[in-house]
Amino acid sequence: MHRRTFLASLAGLVAAGPATAQMKYDMGGMNGHGGHNMPKTATNPILPEGQPLRALPRLSNQSAVPGVFKAKLAAEPGFVRFADGLDTPVLLYNGTNPVIEASEGDTVEISFENRIPGEPTTIHWHGMPVPADQDGNPTDPVASGEERIYAFELPEGSAASYWFHPHPHGLTAEQVYRGLAGIFLVKPKNDPIPPDYGDTVLMLTDLRIAADGTMPESTMADLMNGRVGDHVLVNGQKNPAMAVARGEKRRIRLYNATNARFLRLAFENASMTVIGTDGGLIEAPVAVNELLLTPAERVELIVSFDKPGEAKLTTLDYERGWMGPGKPNEAGMILLTANVSEEATAAMPPLPAKLRTIEPLGTPAVTRRFVLTESMGGMDHGSMTMSGMDHSSMSLSSDSMGMKFLINGASFDMNRIDEVSKVGQVELWEIVNEADMDHPFHVHGTQFQITEHEKDGKVSMPSYRAWKDTVNITAGETVRILLRQDLPGPRMYHCHILEHEQLGMMGTIDIQA
């Protein structure tokens, strides 16, 4: 049983019994006391810190045929032991959220089973160039108890740090915060990064856990701002430890797999060099002191550990336009601690100066404009108070207090096509944020190039060309991107604060052959 293997590999972190598969996934019964916006009590669970960083398990390939990756995935209820003595009911893929690792040129076939009682789900392959009917769109739900096959090919040049998560209409935010998300690594045929640097995947998630170990339901503040947890976890662990030798360089992939957490990150006592973004390597390494990783974004780094002692991955403050009370303290969280030895490592090969070529997308044939707005259903959000509200009466639906997040004045409708485009057509998209908070904007099915940021009349260009599928649009900002869809079919674009996506900030573009 894979669950048994997982148990063993987590050395007690996870508790699952033989009854796991039969466990009833009872969301209605989870009453969230001790939650995020409630007064903290001494009984709030304490998560262990400083345990050795674990690598996420890999999904094994069931095919012996070269160039074919075949496996089974099931979305199912389970338990994770985040805090001592408390089993938290969660949803996981195969009980472990395994990493899928395949190579450019591979054919992928995933047999998927939805074992979530009473809820539809899908698997969306975030950022990947998969056919529209294989991309887990909300219009293609897999009903509870049903199976389907997701099949696609990984084209040459598609190597990147992708991920996958559910995308069922109205249920995405909850299924993701309850645990469903996984990493999909596509490896290149020829990797310019020295293998000596390793390849460390760090998946960042956000956990809110009540005194009884359950995950409280979302509150009004969660719907408005996106659900932010109490603990940012790395591969499911709080501030895990990693041993490195002085002088070591590590390739580290950071994934923001949280619903809504803006992560402005710095690595104290170590130096960071960006080598890749959402859609793979950039052209040349770029040294940075800090970086902002908004929900769904990924970055590939080379981290050089040149000073002995502790090197900590920490968060810095970020102003993303929080509404109402309960603004989390973003600064000063320690996500990961590297213990750097006194003794130096053997010399490491240098990082190449040139990583790849990214051709500019060229002259756009059409321009589209997407205006992001918020509507609070007549309530003045400046004076809105959350204290004393009984969150048990709130549901995460589009009529939640009339709160709506809109694109071009419209709320998402599965049965409406908002835009029509053509396969292979280069387009300029202008995303205008007229709302009071930042919105990380994501497009399905392709990767884009950011050409301009404009705010208060000032225009700036990104300092390097990169492939992206998610870009943060700050309040009052306009971002211009170039993109091209190479496959036909309907594709979603939306805010990747998943509660905003759920409350309407999503649209559909139909790409015609």
Q: State the residues that interact with Cu ion by CB under 5 A.
A: 126, 439, 444, 495, 497, 500
Residue-wise burial string across 346-371, b where 16 or more C-beta atoms lie within 10 A, e elsewhere: eebeebeeebbebeebeebeeebebe
- Please give the DSSP secondary-structure letter assigned to residue 99: B
Q: Which does 500 bind (CB under 5 to 8 A by kind): Cu ion, ligand C2O, none?
A: Cu ion
Question: CA 417 to CA 425: how far, in whole Å?
Answer: 18
CB of 470 to ligand C2O, least distance (A): 8
CB of 135 to ligand C2O, least distance (A): 9
Q: How many residues bind ligand C2O (CB under 6 A)?
A: 10
Rg (CA), the chain: 22
Quick check: 296 binds ligand C2O (CB under 6 A)? Answer: yes
Which residue has 């970055």 as its token pair?
A: 299
Q: Which range of residues in 244-252, 338-346, 476-484, 491-499 is near ligand C2O by CB under 6 A?
A: 491-499
Quick check: 167 binds ligand C2O (CB under 6 A)? Answer: yes
CA separation (Å) from 441 to 280, 295, 370, 444?
18, 9, 10, 10
DSSP H stretches of helix in 24-140: none
Residue number, 61 or 398, with CB nearest to ligand C2O: 398
Residue number, 249 or 444, with CB nearest to Cu ion: 444
Among 36, 81, 126, 391, binds ligand C2O (CB under 6 A): 126
Q: Which does 465 bind (CB under 5 to 8 A by kind): ligand C2O, Cu ion, none?
A: none
DSSP H stretches of helix in 52-97: none
Q: Which of 509, 500, 503 has the alpha carbon at shortest distance from 445?
A: 509
Q: Which does 492 bind (CB under 5 to 8 A by kind): ligand C2O, Cu ion, none?
A: ligand C2O
Q: Which does 497 bind (CB under 5 to 8 A by kind): ligand C2O, Cu ion, none?
A: Cu ion
CB atoms under 10 Å from CB of 317, counted, come to 9
Quick check: 439 binds ligand C2O (CB under 6 A)? Answer: no
CB of 352 to ligand C2O, least distance (A): 31
Which residue has 């195969």 as its token pair?
A: 94
Please count the residues of the chain.
513
Tokens of residue 352, six digits: 């190449």
Among 3, 81, 165, 465, binds ligand C2O (CB under 6 A): 165
CB of 296 to ligand C2O, least distance (A): 5
Residue number, 248 or 300, with CB nearest to ligand C2O: 300
Q: Which does 336 bind (CB under 5 to 8 A by kind): ligand C2O, Cu ion, none?
A: none
Question: CA 401 to CA 414: how far, in whole Å?
Answer: 21
CB of 513 to ligand C2O, least distance (A): 22
Among 124, 231, 439, 465, binds ligand C2O (CB under 6 A): 124
Helices vs. strands in the chain: H and E counts, helices first: 4, 30
Residues 6+ apart with CB under 8 A from 165: 123, 124, 126, 172, 175, 176, 180, 181, 182, 257
Residue number, 167 or 264, with CB nearest to ligand C2O: 167
CB of 300 to ligand C2O, least distance (A): 18
Residue 7, amino acid: L
Q: Which range of residues in 8-16, 310-318, 397-405, 488-496 is near ligand C2O by CB under 6 A?
A: 488-496
Is residue 87 within 8 A of residue 79, CB to CB? The reply is yes
CB of 506 to ligand C2O, least distance (A): 7
Residue number, 216 or 295, with CB nearest to ligand C2O: 295
Question: CA 147 to CA 149: how far, in whole Å?
Answer: 7
CB of 157 to Cu ion, least distance (A): 19
Tokens of residue 499, six digits: 């509660």
Residues that bind ligand C2O (CB under 6 A): 124, 126, 165, 167, 296, 442, 444, 492, 494, 496
